[in-house]
Each structure stands twice: as C-alpha cells, then as structure tokens.
C-alpha cells in the first residue's frame, strides 16, 4: 500500500522536486556533440552537491557508481555515465534524483543532440505526451490501472511499444516505495489513488518491439532489437481535487 504523506512531508517533497527540476534546467546548455556522458554526470554532481546542497540519490545506490543516469539512443534506462561522446543526431535521457532534508525528488527528460532525425523526434514527443496522458489520469478515486491504460493506449495507437519490465514507483523518504506504477494496464484495476500519495510516472517507449535486456554492467537496459527508446519522468502528488507535478519545470504547462 502507498504511504500517505503528511502536510509537512509534502512540503519537503515540493522542495526536493523543485531542486531536481533545476538540475535538468541547468544541464540542458551542456548537452552537445562531443560532450561525454561522464562530463554530464560530473557537472550534475557538482551542481547538486555544491549549488543545491543536496545528495545525489543514485550515487552508491545498490552499487550504482554515478550521480545521474544517462541513457543514449537504444539504451532504455539506467545508463552509466562514462567516456562515450555524444554525436550529432543522438537522443539522451538524463535521470536525476536528489535528496533534500531526507526526501527524494525524481525526474528525467529527453534531450536532442544537435539535429536529430524525424523518427527520433517523433518518439521523443510521443513519449512525453504518453507521460502527460498518464499524469492527467491521476485524481482521487482513480486507480493505477487507469494511469497505465492511458499511457499504453496513447503509445500503441501511435505504433510504439511500452517497456513492461521497469515502472514508476512510490517515493518519499525512500527512493523506491510502494506502489509500483505500471505504464500499461486495464481501467478500474490496481490500487485506488488517494490524496497524499506521491509516486513517479516514467514511461519508456520503444520505436520497435518492447523487449529489453540488461547489459553485463548490471545496470544499463537496452532494446533487444536495437531500436530507439525514450523516457520522460515526473514525481506526482495526488491532491484533494486532482494532482500536482512536484518536479514541473517552468517551461512546462500542466
């Protein structure tokens, strides 16, 4: 069952969410051809620790060696930053989670490197819209299956596949709490949403088939058919009348 957050906890979640969003705003100007994913990690780490006074949650989490995840092209999620240099036409997801006053803020977004192709642009935009459809389904009395169905229906109508092995999750004092938030499902099924619940919605859509595999590094997930993959993520609060996007950036309309 999901943890219902107190007003004090929700206040701290708002702060953590806003700070996580600031990291993605900051890093955008650094995404360019020739930049390594390790440089992106280093810049994010220094900003999270030095400027924001936060802890980067991924660092040493179950052995993860870096402060953010960077997933490029056919990498689905949990990519480990390293010496890889971004190329013109790449797409990259940067996944940020910060801890402030004990509470987590978790968000990710796609960036285009230089000039990307039509297929990549369409996938990136469709994935963002799929996330929006899931967020719009969040309200008291709705069920998690409604959220998953909204995402899956939109994605599959546009001939993209939904990754099923990885999902959204409850979040708060812990990085990963109950419930699991699947990005596919049937309406009217799953846990009922109630005010005070906080969780992530983070669909991963593939241009090809949905099947994925884990690389030998134990973290990086890739598409089996080498097709492009995209992901967007926000931390959501269920309110008394609907929802609040705790990691919303100023340029986003919800």
CATH number of the domain residue 56 falls in: 3.90.230.10
**In the chain, at which residue ranges do the beta strands (DSSP E only) sit?**
55-56, 69-72, 75-77, 91-100, 103-112, 161-162, 168-170, 177-181, 198-201, 204-206, 212-214, 221-223, 229-231, 234-238, 243-245
The total of structural domains in the chain comes to: 1
User: Rounded mean pLDDT of the chain?
Assistant: 97
Q: Which pLDDT band, with edges at 50, 70 and 90, does 2 fall under? A: confident
Task: Measure the CA–CA gap between 244 and 239, rounded to whole angstroms.
Answer: 7
Please name which of 120, 125, 122, 89 lies closest in space to residue 109, comparing C-alpha atoms: 125
Long-range contacts of 219-222 (CB under 8 A, 24+ apart): 219/64, 219/78, 219/79, 219/80, 220/71, 220/75, 220/78, 220/79, 220/80, 221/71, 221/75, 221/76, 221/77, 221/78, 221/165, 221/166, 222/74, 222/75, 222/76
Could you tell me if residue 170 is inside a domain? yes
Could you tell me if residue 1 is inside a domain? no
Beta bridge pairs of residue 98:
56, 105
Q: How many CB atoms lie within 10 A of CB 18?
A: 17
Could you tell me if residue 252 is inside a domain? no
The tokens for 192 are 């009922």
Could you tell me if residue 254 is inside a domain? no
Determine contact, residues 201/109, Cβ cutoff 8 Å. Answer: no
Could you tell me if residue 220 is inside a domain? yes
Could you tell me if residue 167 is inside a domain? yes
Could you tell me if residue 104 is inside a domain? yes
Can you give the pLDDT at residue 199?
98
Can you give the pLDDT at residue 22?
98
Query: Over 80: is that where the pLDDT of 254 sits?
Result: no
> pTM for the complete prediction?
0.97
Can you give the pLDDT at residue 1?
79
User: Which whole number is the average pLDDT over 212-220?
Assistant: 98
Which letter does DSSP use for residue 83 in this model? S
pLDDT tens-digit map of 40-59: 999 999 999 999 999 999 99
What range defines the domain where residue 160 resides?
7-245
User: Which whole number is the average pLDDT over 92-113?
Assistant: 98
Could you tell me if residue 14 is inside a domain? yes
Query: Over 80: is that where the pLDDT of 91 sits?
Result: yes
């Amino acid at each position: 069952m999901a943890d219902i957050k107190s007003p004090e906890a929700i206040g701290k979640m708002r702060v953590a969410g806003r700070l996580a969003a600031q990291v993605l705003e900051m890093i955008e100007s650094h995404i360019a051809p020739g930049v390594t994913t390790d440089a992106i990690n280093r810049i994010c780490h220094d900003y999270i620790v030095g400027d924001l006074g936060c802890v980067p949650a991924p660092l040493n989490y179950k052995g993860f060696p870096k402060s953010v995840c960077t997933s490029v092209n056919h990498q689905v999620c949990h990519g480990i930053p390293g010496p890889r240099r971004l190329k013109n036409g790449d797409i990259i997801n940067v996944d940020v989670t910060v801890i402030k006053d004990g509470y987590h803020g978790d968000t990710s977004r796609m960036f285009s490197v230089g000039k990307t192709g039509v297929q990549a642009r369409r996938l990136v935009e469709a994935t963002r819209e799929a996330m929006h459809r899931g967020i719009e389904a969040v309200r008291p009395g709705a069920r998690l299956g409604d959220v998953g169905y909204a995402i899956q229906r939109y994605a599959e109508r546009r001939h993209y596949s939904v990754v099923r092995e990885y999902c959204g999750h409850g979040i708060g004092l812990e990085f990963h709490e109950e419930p699991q938030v699947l990005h596919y499902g049937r309406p009217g099924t799953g846990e009922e949403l109630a005010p005070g619940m906080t969780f992530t919605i983070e669909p991963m859509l593939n241009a090809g088939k949905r099947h994925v595999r884990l690389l030998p590094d134990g973290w990086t997930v890739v598409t089996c058919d080498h097709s492009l993959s995209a992901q967007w993520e926000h931390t959501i609060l269920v309110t008394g009348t609907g929802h609040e996007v705790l990691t919303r950036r100023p340029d986003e309309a919800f």
